[in-house]
């Protein structure tokens, strides 16, 4: 008998599984709205021009300025400075004083995993620690935090009746949390709802978190995708920094640089003093070394090239704005299409929401019908990635949504 006999087969990942189903579908009308990856107007994966140029430069520099030796456990110092600047503002006192402990991470997921492993060891000191996540949140959050041994709890976020933020519910739950609990916050472009707090609501969140001494774990996976501006989308991050919090900040370049498969991100830990940051960094390195030893170099080189070259940085901002704009156009077309058809219900939330996703409000049964009868792959929660829509398939989408809603 095999030692593997009796191991149950695990279910498919609910997000990545939609791509498997999509790939197996031979119908020419099929649309993939499952995974959150940008697509061009022709529905193709998109490599940013700045990334192409950085790749070409890297090839020229290979063997001189760059090589394939191991990176350090925590990644290049230059990358740390640049990525801190991008999130917090390069002249911010926290950045210039050196009180942020930063490590390169395996994209946003890796940053979250390392952060929570560190929290379990040094903040929870191996004991129980609650981490609050929004209800709903990106599905992997729950799994990552549970794996790290934290107790995952949730705070209300989505108000189904108004398809907007349940700020009262959120504040009440945070107000009732145990002192010192960790609170996962989406820095911008909340996944899956596409609903972010307003500036005034962020202030209320800050207030209750200060009162209850709650610890922010901010997840920035979409900087630049919400508004098209990198600075505007860093509003919440900079607010927490300005209020004197010590906190954890996870940063991903998957979406805003289209570097999904390169697994490039950062974990920044904001400490009160440079001395504390030094100690924290030494301990985060002890988390990383036995986990994966050191991070990959390729994505790091690309990011350093783009952030470190003025012309490239400017070009990136333009390209990012272009991606954000196309998503906004698609939102508009989808809403107008449904309204023009008189599809039952209200559809203003599609354009009110921001970022890559729309939480459509479609029921599970309606989603299942879209998948099984219309070859439109979306999450059963009703989340769609707008990146999969374009002028060529939007009318089909409208017609099918109309059909399942009636």
Question: Scanning the structure block, which residue is given the tokens 């942020």?
Answer: 100
Near ligand PMP by CB under 6 A: residue from 94, 254, 284, 323: 254
CB of 404 to ligand PMP, least distance (A): 25
CB of 373 to ligand PMP, least distance (A): 27
User: Is residue 233 within the footprint of ligand PMP (CB under 6 A)?
Assistant: no
Which span sits near ligand PMP by CB under 6 A: 4-12, 103-111, 128-136, 361-369? 103-111
315 is catalytic: no
Contact status: 108 vs ligand PMP (CB under 6 A): yes
Chain Cα centroid distance, residue 347: 25
Region near ligand PMP per CB under 6 A, out of 21-29, 63-71, 102-110, 288-296: 102-110
Six-digit token string for 365? 């049964």
If phi > 0 it is left, if psi is from -120 to 50 it is alpha, else beta; for residue 358 that is beta
Pick the closest to residue 367 from 331, 400, 334, 330 (CA basis). Answer: 400
Mask for 47-86, x = binds ligand PMP (CB under 6 A): ----------------------------------------
Q: What are 20's two structure tokens?
A: 């498997």
Q: Which long-range contacts (CB under 8 A, 24 or more apart) does 335-339 make?
A: 337/394, 337/395, 337/397, 337/398, 338/398, 338/401, 338/402
Please confirm, yes or no, whether 316 is among the known catalytic residues: no
Does position 219 bind ligand PMP by CB under 6 A? yes
The reply on whether position 32 binds ligand PMP by CB under 6 A is no
User: Using CB atoms within 10 A of its CB, is residue 139 exposed (0-12), middle (13-18) or buried (19+)?
Assistant: middle
Q: For this structure, is 219 an active site residue?
A: yes
Task: Name the active-site residue from 120, 163, 196, 219.
Answer: 219
Name residues whose C-beta falls within 8 Å of residue 203's C-beta, 6 or more positions apart in sequence.
239
Q: Under the criterion CB under 6 A, does residue 265 sit at the interface with ligand PMP?
A: yes
The alpha carbon of 177 is separated from its chain's Cα centroid by a whole number of angstroms, namely 24
Q: Which string of x and - marks every residue 175-214 that binds ligand PMP (by CB under 6 A)?
A: -----------x----x-----------------------
Q: How many residues does the chain have?
A: 406
Cα–Cα distance, 368 to 267 (Å, whole number) = 37
Phi-psi region of 126 (alpha: psi -120 to 50; beta: other; left: phi over 0): left
Closest CA to 15 of 377, 375, 263, 369: 377
Contact with ligand PMP (CB under 6 A): which of 84, 107, 360, 366? 107
Q: CB of residue 135 vs ligand PMP: minimum separation in angstroms?
A: 14
Min dist. Cβ of residue 113 to ligand PMP (A)? 9
Query: Binding segment for ligand PMP among 101-109, 121-129, 275-283, 338-346 (CB under 6 A)?
Result: 101-109
Nearer to ligand PMP, 254 or 386 (CB): 254
> Which residues are known to be catalytic?
138, 219, 255
Residues of this chain that bind ligand PMP (CB under 6 A): 36, 107-109, 138, 186, 191, 219, 221, 252, 254, 260, 265
């Amino acid at each position: 008998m095999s030692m593997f006999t009796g191991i149950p087969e695990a279910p498919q990942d609910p997000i990545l599984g939609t791509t498997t189903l999509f790939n197996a579908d031979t119908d020419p009308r099929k649309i993939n709205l499952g995974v959150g990856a940008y697509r061009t107007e022709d529905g193709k994966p998109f490599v940013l021009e700045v990334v192409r140029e950085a790749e070409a430069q890297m090839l020229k520099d290979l063997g001189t300025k760059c090589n394939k030796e191991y990176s350090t456990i925590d990644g290049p110092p230059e990358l740390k400075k640049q990525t801190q600047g991008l999130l917090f503002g390069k002249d911010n006192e926290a950045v210039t004083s050196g009180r942020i402990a930063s490590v390169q991470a395996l994209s946003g997921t890796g940053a979250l995993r390392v952060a929570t492993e560190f929290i379990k060891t040094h903040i929870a000191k191996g004991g129980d620690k609650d981490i609050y996540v929004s209800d709903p949140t990106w599905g992997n959050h729950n799994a990552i935090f549970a794996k790290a041994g934290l107790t995952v709890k949730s705070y209300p976020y989505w108000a189904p009746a108004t398809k907007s933020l349940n700020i009262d519910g959120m504040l009440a739950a945070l107000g009732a949390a145990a002192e010192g609990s960790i609170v996962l916050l989406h820095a911008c472009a909340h996944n899956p709802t596409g609903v972010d707090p307003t500036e005034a609501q962020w202030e209320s969140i800050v207030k209750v978190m200060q009162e209850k001494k709650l610890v922010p774990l901010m997840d920035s996976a979409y900087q630049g995708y919400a508004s098209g501006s990198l600075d505007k989308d860093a509003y919440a991050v900079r607010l927490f920094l300005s209020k004197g919090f010590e906190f954890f900040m996870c940063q991903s370049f998957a979406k805003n640089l289209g570097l999904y498969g390169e697994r490039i991100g950062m974990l920044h830990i904001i400490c009160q003093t440079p001395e504390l940051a030094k100690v924290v960094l030494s301990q985060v390195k002890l988390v990383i070394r036995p986990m994966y030893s050191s991070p990959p170099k390729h994505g790091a080189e690309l990011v350093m090239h783009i952030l470190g070259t003025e012309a490239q940085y400017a070009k990136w901002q333009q390209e990012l704005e272009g991606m954000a704009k196309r998503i906004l156009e698609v939102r508009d077309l989808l809403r107008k299409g449904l309204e023009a058809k008189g599809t039952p219900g209200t559809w203003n939330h599609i354009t009110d929401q921001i970022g890559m996703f729309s939480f459509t409000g479609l029921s599970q049964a309606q989603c299942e019908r879209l998948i099984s009868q219309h070859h439109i792959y979306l999450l059963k929660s009703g989340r769609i990635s707008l990146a999969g829509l374009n002028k060529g398939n939007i009318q089909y989408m409208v017609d099918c949504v109309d059909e399942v809603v009636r």
